[in-house]
Structure 1
């Protein structure tokens, strides 16, 4: 089946980002895609806390989420809305992804489990845990493309999450992201290919790209990777929409040639001195 990836340069105005998302839904449906994938923080990318505060709301009040649900229903297409910054019931923020079906209903929610706290050699300093609460567990959902395991950005570096999802029956993974340029250039392709190979599963990773209004720069290169680790789509650094065919026969071939799922073992405690 056909998937669509929307590579974005999200800004500080949720209404403008919502229009880009609505246009992406329409284009994906017109192109025959069964499902559209969008990046992390599709609705708002703003490192200025005071300015962003006025746009941060609870899920039921989020107009970006509502507009994407409406567009999905209008065009009859599933959407993985990579993530939004959502105010939780306890007042903390969640980096939350949504799977929306073709009648506009939310089928799954996933809160990013691993939070990115780091000081980079470039001088960039990120402290996600200052603003966000970590998600409590993995999420798997049935979609037209197969059983979809959900992850967000930094989760990519933690293979145990992907093994857990794979053991539960995932046939593809979504990894929406806003990778920085230094870490993207170093690790983006190799990590996504590794996750695909380890689980003999498709990986679809819609990404942020370019120079953003808040001053940050993201890596782009939205990817689709097949279960053998072959890159089926690389969108480079230009914002826009692309289509890719996900052929289930590729997965059957990969799992037959190297039956990693059958050979997995539960690893016990380390012994020795």
Structure 2
């Protein structure tokens, strides 16, 4: 694990895939120019359209297709590690896809993928979401070796399930690309992220969608980076942009040494 700068991109993605990719390119380029070695894009950076079913039409085979080619090329061009918040990868069900994070190294090589395990469902009588209608749940936890340490991958709704992170511990950085709704985000987003940082004594990087999208739905934004003590190091409440902070390996070790909660676990 090295002391490097990491960045989370925040986007207001729309219905035009080409425009969304151009926006992603712009902000990843800006973050890289500012010194970021690892950049995280938000969930659905490629599309926030009018219907969830539009994602199925864009499904790509694993390690093939224009979205993945774009991501690989961008990482290679800028010489950064790039975590794509989520892209639609084909499944064995023609009506559903995997909502997957893919990680690229600074040579543009794909290090691996994580398929979102927990699928969001919410209905308060005004807003309704049923991700299981178009997505297939993943089955495997994914941890990747990066210059910023071992990175545990997760996506949005996953952050509500602490057992996902307590199972198979041994990571220094937790990624949570998301498209949290404004309703649930205002109530829970920061609390959940800080709790995950504190209980796992790790850095958390959360890249979010923000604002109103073509469907009329609003996402919460508030991309942030949090340290192992639960302190918010960088925050962008609204609008397109990025947040950046430095991973401090010595500080993480100090937190774990002074309060060895991970070593004190008795259950699980």
* TM class, shorter-length: over 0.9
The question of 1:20 aligning with 2:23 is answered yes
CA distance in structure 2 between the partners assigned to 1:198 and 1:53 by the alignment: 36
1:142 match: secondary structure: strand
CA distance in structure 2 between the partners assigned to 1:6 and 1:211 by the alignment: 17
The question of 1:56 aligning with 2:59 is answered yes
The question of 1:105 aligning with 2:96 is answered no
| Structure 1 residue 24 displacement after superposition | 2.3
Q: 1:67 to 1:185 in 2, by over 3 A?
A: same
CA contact (8 A) 2:55 2:88 kept: no
Partner of 1:8: 11
CA distance in structure 1 between the partners assigned to 2:37 and 2:105 by the alignment: 10
| Structure 1 residue 68 displacement after superposition | 1.6
| Structure 1 residue 50 displacement after superposition | 5.9
CA distance in structure 1 between the partners assigned to 2:190 and 2:233 by the alignment: 12
**Aligned positions of 1:71-150 closer than 5 A:** 71-91=74-94, 92-121=96-125, 123-150=126-153
Q: 1:39 to 1:49 in 2, by over 3 A?
A: closer
Partner of 1:210: 211
CA contact (8 A) 2:53 2:134 kept: no
CA distance in structure 2 between the partners assigned to 1:51 and 1:97 by the alignment: 18
Structure 2 alignment gaps of length 5 or more: none
The question of 1:41 aligning with 2:44 is answered yes
| Structure 1 residue 89 displacement after superposition | 4.3
Mean Cα deviation higher: 104-113 or 11-20: 11-20
CA contact (8 A) 2:173 2:202 kept: yes
2:111 match: secondary structure: strand
| Structure 1 residue 39 displacement after superposition | 0.5
| Structure 1 residue 254 displacement after superposition | 1.2
Bigger RCO of structures 1 and 2 (CA < 8 A, at least 6 apart): 2
2:167 match: secondary structure: helix
Partner of 2:223: 222
Length-normalised TM-score, structure 2: 0.93
1:4 match: secondary structure: strand
Mean Cα deviation higher: 197-206 or 21-30: 21-30
Mean Cα deviation higher: 60-69 or 35-44: 60-69
